[in-house]
Each structure stands twice: as structure tokens, then as C-alpha cells.
Structure 1
Amino acid sequence: MTKWFPLHLAAAIALLSAPGAALAHTKLVGSTPSANSTVSKVTSVQLKFSEKLIASTVKAELVMTDMPGMKDHPPMKIAFTSAIGKDGKSMTLQPKRALVPGTYKVKWSAAGADTHRMGSEFSFTVK
């Protein structure tokens, strides 16, 4: 058993010193429009991630949560097409037409190299 100890120790050190990227979770690092911003015209929403996405794990939702003059309007899902960028680290949500004035929420989930699905949401306002 003693002769196996150096081998086990070497394996443990190798695991602990593995590159951080292999253990990192996918994070949203930027978006256009940005979180909590107020913008005048939106024809698409761009999401930028910390690492390459596994395409089969990507999900996104665009929801209008508030509309001027319609206080009791329920949240409304907005139809869009989506595409992952050539870099594999970005995604574009393309509604059929420019977004009308109101407040919108973007929800996303995706996995990167570690295969752990992560997700978040943010809002922005179109004036």
C-alpha cells in the first residue's frame, strides 16, 4: 500500500491543479441592451457568455413584463429566432420586429464545458 501512496498523491495534486476553466460555470458577462438599462430602440438582444456554450443546452425567453398605459397587462412572451455566434460564446435573440415601449425580461440557461446548466435573468426598458 505504501508504494501506491505517491501515485495517489500525484493524482490528487493533478486534480487540484487542473485549469480553472474546466471547473468554471457559464456566466453572462454582457448584454445589449444591458441589464437595467433604458434604451430607445431594440431590434435584437445580444448575450455574451464567459465560455463556449453547448448548443443543445441553450434556452432563452424574452418576456414583456410591463407596458405603458396597461397597468394590469399580464406578462407576454415575445417570439424570436436565436443564433449562437461563430465564437460559440454569444447568442442573438431576433424578434420579428422592433420591441415596442415597455419593460422586458430576458431569461437564459445554458451549459459550457463543465456541462452544468446555469441560468439567470435581467430586465431592460424600451422607451
Structure 2
Amino acid sequence: MKSFLPAATAALALLLTPVAASAHTKLVGSTPAANATVSKVTSVSLRFNEKVIASTVKAELVMTGMPGMANHAPMKIAATSTMGKDGKSLTLTAKRALVPGTYKVKWSAAGADTHRMGSEFSFTVK
């Protein structure tokens, strides 16, 4: 029984030892915010929960609907992308202010764990 006690203590210690969480890149905020209705938009800012690897970042801005056009096909909006100095933000800047309609932002990026994550969100320009 005495030889069992050290093994059981070691096993319990392993169970109670904190394990480093494997964090994935997540979008924690944007301007405009998801589902917001805004006006005079010339850029879209994305904020991530961690530094992202710049070479893995992809983002696109797509117009998905226009008032008065029931069957508006998705239209990619030309925009330049700029990484923030903090490594946790990205700004998409359109060549001109966005016209009224609905827009979708699609993004993907990898952080320190190199696992590419991605998502999308929409907003409306009035």
C-alpha cells in the first residue's frame, strides 16, 4: 500500500496542474460593429484577441445588397488593408465612402499557434 501512495500523489498532481490553453485567433471587435447601421463609412477596422501573423491575414469587403435592387449580386469592394502596429488590428480602407447598402466582411488569420481561424460579419450603410 505504501508504494501506491507516491504514484497516486503524482497522478493527482498531474491532474491539478494547469494546462496552457490553446488560444485561437478571434475577432473581439470591429468598427462598424457587426449588425450595426451606420453612415459615412470609408474604412472597416478589425480587432483580434491576440497578435496575428501578418502573412496569414486575409480580409475582404463585399457589398451584398443595395436598396431598390432585389437581386443584387455580391460585389467585392476594392480596399487596401493595413496591419496595426500592435499586431492585433487590421484596417480595410475603401477608395471612396461606401454607398448605402448591406456589406459583409470576411476574414481569416492565424496567431501564435499558426491555426488559421476565420469568420464573417455584416453591417448596413444608410
Q: TM-score, normalised by structure 1?
A: 0.85
1:103: which partner in 2? 102
For structure 2, the residue ranges without an aligned partner over 5 or more in a row are 1-6
Quote the Cα distance in structure 2 between the aligned partners of 1:77 and 1:111. Answer: 23
1:41: which partner in 2? 40
Quote the Cα distance in structure 1 between the aligned partners of 2:37 and 2:89. Answer: 22
Instruction: Give % identity.
Output: 78
CA deviation after TM superposition for structure 1 residue 40, in Å: 1.3
SS at 1:105 equivalent: strand
Q: Which amino acid aligns with 2:18?
A: S
| 2:58 matches 1:59 | yes
SS at 2:42 equivalent: coil
CA deviation after TM superposition for structure 1 residue 17, in Å: 3.3
Quote the Cα distance in structure 2 between the aligned partners of 1:77 and 1:93. Answer: 13
Runs (4 or more) in structure 1 with deviation over 6 Å come to none
Quote the Cα distance in structure 2 between the aligned partners of 1:104 and 1:85. Answer: 22
Residue-by-residue CA offset, 1:85-111 (whole Å, 9 max, x unaligned): 000000000010010000000000000
How many residue pairs align between the two structures?
118
2:114: which partner in 1? 115
Residue-by-residue CA offset, 1:43-66 (whole Å, 9 max, x unaligned): 100000000000110000110000
Q: Which amino acid aligns with 1:43?
A: T
Quote the Cα distance in structure 2 between the aligned partners of 1:81 and 1:49. Answer: 18
SS at 1:65 equivalent: strand
- What is the root-mean-square deviation in Å for CA atoms of aligned residues? 2.2
Q: Which amino acid aligns with 1:91?
A: L
Quote the Cα distance in structure 2 between the aligned partners of 1:79 and 1:66. Answer: 16
Q: TM-score, normalised by structure 2?
A: 0.85
More helix by share: 1
Quote the Cα distance in structure 2 between the aligned partners of 1:97 and 1:36. Answer: 21
Q: Which amino acid aligns with 1:31?
A: S
Quote the Cα distance in structure 1 between the aligned partners of 2:84 and 2:18. Answer: 31
| 2:67 matches 1:72 | no
